[in-house]
Amino acid sequence: MAHLKWMRVCGCVVARYAEYMSLRSLLPVFSGSLILTAAAIAAQTAASPSHANLLRGNYSELRANNDLLSYDLRVRVDPAKQFISGENTIRFRMLRDGTRIQLDLSETLKVEKILLGRTELKYERDSGAVFVDFPKALKQGKTYSVEFFYSGYPKEIGRFGGLTFKKDPAGRDWITTSCEDDGASVWWPNKDQWRDEVESMRLRVAVPNGLMDVSNGRFSGKRDLGDGYTEWAWKVHYPINNYDVALNIADYTHFSDKLGKLTLDYYVLPENLEKAKAQFAQVKPMLQAYQHYFGEYPFIKDGYKLVEVPYLGMEHQSAVAYGNKYENGYLGRDWAGVGISKKFDFIIIHESGHEWFGNAVTAADMSDMWIHEGWTTYMEGLYVEYLYGKPDAIKYLNGLKSHLKNDRPIVVSDADGKTIHGTNQQPTQDQYFKGALMINTLRSVVDDDAKWFDLIRGFYQDFKYKNILTEDVVSYFNARTGMDLTPIFDQYLRHVAIPMLELKFEPGLVSYRWKADVKAFAMPLKVGDPTKWETIHPTEEWQAMKTSLGKEEFKVATDLYYVKVEKE
């Protein structure tokens, strides 16, 4: 599949649409009927991670010995030289006594010095890791601050560039960041992992006069530095992922609005002001939909912002990056292919959904990133349901099946279905679509919409501002439903194949059973006549039911349950 070029939607790979559609017919179709052998799965999942990825991904003792409290990042950006310099004051509490911690900064950037008070600290660099040594042991329970000074010429990396020095169409500087896959340490020093977040953060960004910096959080003032630069200050009042921290530097025009007490601020290129005012009218109903299902926007003190960028989009917390060209759909195209996508702007609806799942509820390891992407894709369906009704939502979510590759489990797993944490390895793009279709399946398993909406709201509310793993999701749903949903989660998340319902017909009778990788797989589903579905409870053992329907007339509700059906 090396001939396919992949693109990232927000952090994850989504096939470059046109190429994907044209190449699909040439690819083997892994439709779920094809169960890959264990060896084939192992070959696809266990590619040994690089030393650099292990250093980045592993939550080592040198990370686990401390708990982040805050960052105070100051950066000066010189567009003419394409050079940055600055410092990050990193405050943390020691969880155990220790003389060394791991921080991270891309090898392409220079460590100027690292201070603890007035003491200059020794450090050792190994690819992107910076191991900082303290002359005396830091004590468990005590809080410390190190000031990390750095500078350099950031190298463009990843599809959205990490930190890029671009020009807008009128030739003015346009400098933005986007670094989910490569990590925030591509442009600033931090503890670059997913498990631990600061509780709050300050950003002060100096840019040449005439440009503006829009970062995360609440704007707290600007200051003319008297040397041709102006410093723009922002304060983040909540926990934040490293990769969400963003610079957006341009000659932006600003307009604003409110939804209740929530401030809405929009920063766009001056030429696009009128288009933006029309397109961003979608923001309020989108926020209303998500607040309806999950509760209040998670970052009220920081406000909601949309910021125009030269790439497609990214869920930068409280400052969502927007680059969908003021068109509906996905760059103007019908994303789900069923006539619904063009009713809304994919980037506004998807990236903003991440404020709830990704930014407020966060995966503790990249292996479990479906918690961001599966849930946010499901939220697209909820947005459709809120505005256009459930039938359209079900149609939309099922339309996304066209994007499925069924190549690897959506949680990074070994051949036995055991999660591989700590390798900085991004899951397959199926985490979006299969994730959403699994959640839609769970809704049908619960089979009580009032209960379902209560459950997902509770799920969000229980885990907001926390970093969690798949096990936490499964425990929550098991406890709150009183059902054993573990086999269902395991089959969809940790295996390539989806459950297959085998049906055998005899006159007046149909026999059924599940075929799945997970032992003792069981899941109820609806079958028979679509105008009056009957719920059956198949297991891996054959059972039978009476039916007057023949093989052709006997249906399975495959729009409500993402399953494969085989009729004999």
Residue numbers at the binding site for Zn ion (CB under 5 A):
10, 373, 376
* Three-state SS letters, 232-246: EEEEECCCECHHHCC
Closer to Zn ion by Cβ: residue 10 or 247: 10
Half-sphere exposure of 286 (CA within 13 A, CB side): 25
Cβ-closest position to Zn ion: 10
Instruction: Report yes or no: 290 and 320 within 8 Å, Cβ to Cβ.
Output: no
CB atoms within 10 A of CB 303: 19
**Residue written as tokens 């089959």?**
491
Dihedral in degrees, nearest 10, Cα atoms 543, 548, 549, 550:
90
- Least Å distance between CB 348 and Zn ion? 12
Measured CA to CA, the distance from residue 84 to residue 133 in angstroms comes to 25
- Least Å distance between CB 312 and Zn ion? 11
The residue count for the chain: 568
Closer to Zn ion by Cβ: residue 375 or 554: 375
- Least Å distance between CB 350 and Zn ion? 6
Phi and psi based region of residue 244 (left: phi greater than 0; alpha: psi -120 to 50; beta: remaining): alpha
DSSP 3-state of 383: helix
- Least Å distance between CB 376 and Zn ion? 5
Closer to Zn ion by Cβ: residue 73 or 379: 379
- Least Å distance between CB 540 and Zn ion? 35
Number of H helices and E strands in the chain, helices first, is 13, 31
- Least Å distance between CB 351 and Zn ion? 7
Measured CA to CA, the distance from residue 248 to residue 246 in angstroms comes to 6
Closer to Zn ion by Cβ: residue 183 or 487: 183
Closer to Zn ion by Cβ: residue 365 or 373: 373
**Token representation of residue 548:** 């007057």
| Distances from the Cα of 470 to the Cα of 241, 293, 369, angstroms | 18, 21, 9
Closer to Zn ion by Cβ: residue 10 or 485: 10
- Least Å distance between CB 354 and Zn ion? 6
Instruction: Report yes or no: 175 and 164 within 8 Å, Cβ to Cβ.
Output: yes
Closer to Zn ion by Cβ: residue 56 or 354: 354
**Residue written as tokens 């560039």?**
161
- Least Å distance between CB 474 and Zn ion? 22
Phi and psi based region of residue 152 (left: phi greater than 0; alpha: psi -120 to 50; beta: remaining): left
Closer to Zn ion by Cβ: residue 76 or 354: 354
Neighbouring-strand partners of residue 85: 76, 151
Instruction: Report yes or no: 105 and 242 within 8 Å, Cβ to Cβ.
Output: no
Closer to Zn ion by Cβ: residue 359 or 444: 359
Closer to Zn ion by Cβ: residue 203 or 436: 436
**Token representation of residue 100:** 């060394």
Measured CA to CA, the distance from residue 192 to residue 134 in angstroms comes to 20
- Least Å distance between CB 106 and Zn ion? 24
- Least Å distance between CB 8 and Zn ion? 9
